[in-house]
Amino acid sequence: MQLDENTRYQLLRVLADHPEYTQRELASAMGLSLGKTNYCLHALITKGLVKVENFQSKQNKRVYAYLLTPQGLEEKVRVTIRFLQRKQDEYDALKAEIEALREEALMLQPKLAWLDWNTP
């Protein structure tokens, strides 16, 4: 199983905003299973993009913070730029498709009026 770019982007974004989230909260925020969240988190930790620290002030010492490393912050910038470019490309393609459909509808409109007029 490989960590796809959209999942990487979402996970880095959520971790940057909520380093205190538990894995269960991360899974819920991202709409992923707990197992996949654990796998993705472990992949980012292994790559050195995220580090795990205990909350020292908490009573429960098993509560962790998932912090982006400097490399993690750089990766977040890179994946954000790529994500933005992909979304811009999708937007441009959708805009062109909508324009083509509008033109097609305008060309078909006179035929529809003719059919309505000549239908018994």
Tell me: the pLDDT tens digits for 4-14? 888 999 999 99
What integer is the mean pLDDT of 43-59? 83
Measure the CA–CA gap between 33 and 21, rounded to whole angstroms: 15
pLDDT band at 64 (very low <50, low <70, confident <90, very high): confident
φ and ψ at 53, to 5 degrees?
Answer: -130, 145
pTM of the model: 0.72
Structurally, the chain folds into a number of domains equal to 1
Confirm whether 84 is domain-assigned: yes
Residues 66-93 have pLDDT tens digits of 999 999 999 999 999 999 999 999 999 9
Residue 104 belongs to some domain of the structure: no
CATH number at residue 63: 1.10.10.10
The reply to whether 65 falls in a domain is: yes
Q: Which 8-state DSSP code applies to residue 69?
A: -
pLDDT of residue 61: 54
Residue 17 in domain: yes
Residue 3: the pLDDT is: 80
